[in-house]
């Protein structure tokens, strides 16, 4: 009797193969889906129009303007143009 119960408990390769194959199909069934965040939030969609040195306009995200750092405050127009490389 003991030999029969031991033989019944043995796991053969043929019994493992369907389990292994079934576990590989789980990602295709959609059980591991993650929550996708929306790429566009209201803050990211806000743009501000700024002027480039050559006089053309550029749309820049408000978020990048908020994250930028000020190099020097209260710069005169002459100093600013010299910094840009423009001659008066």
Euclidean distance between CA atoms 30 and 7, whole angstroms = 37
Per-residue pLDDT reduced to its tens digit, 1-57: 556 665 666 777 788 888 888 888 777 776 655 666 655 555 557 899 988 878 889
Asked if the structure places residue 60 within a domain, the reply is yes
pLDDT of residue 11: 76
Euclidean distance between CA atoms 29 and 35, whole angstroms = 16
Asked if the structure places residue 2 within a domain, the reply is no
The model scores a pTM over 0.85: no
Structural domains of the chain, count:
1
pLDDT band at 59 (very low <50, low <70, confident <90, very high): very high
pLDDT of residue 52: 84
Euclidean distance between CA atoms 20 and 24, whole angstroms = 6
Task: Tell me the CA distances in angstroms from 75 to 57, 72, 83, one per residue in order.
Answer: 21, 7, 10
Structural domain range at position 74: 42-84
């Amino acid at each position: 009797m003991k030999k029969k119960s031991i033989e019944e408990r043995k796991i053969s390769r043929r019994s493992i193969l369907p389990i292994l194959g079934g576990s590989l199909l789980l990602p295709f069934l959609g059980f591991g889906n993650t929550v996708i965040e929306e790429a566009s939030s209201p803050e990211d969609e806000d743009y501000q129009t700024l002027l480039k040195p050559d006089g053309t306009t550029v749309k820049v995200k408000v978020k990048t303007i908020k994250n930028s750092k000020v190099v020097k405050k209260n710069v005169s127009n002459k100093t600013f143009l010299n910094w840009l490389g423009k001659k008066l």
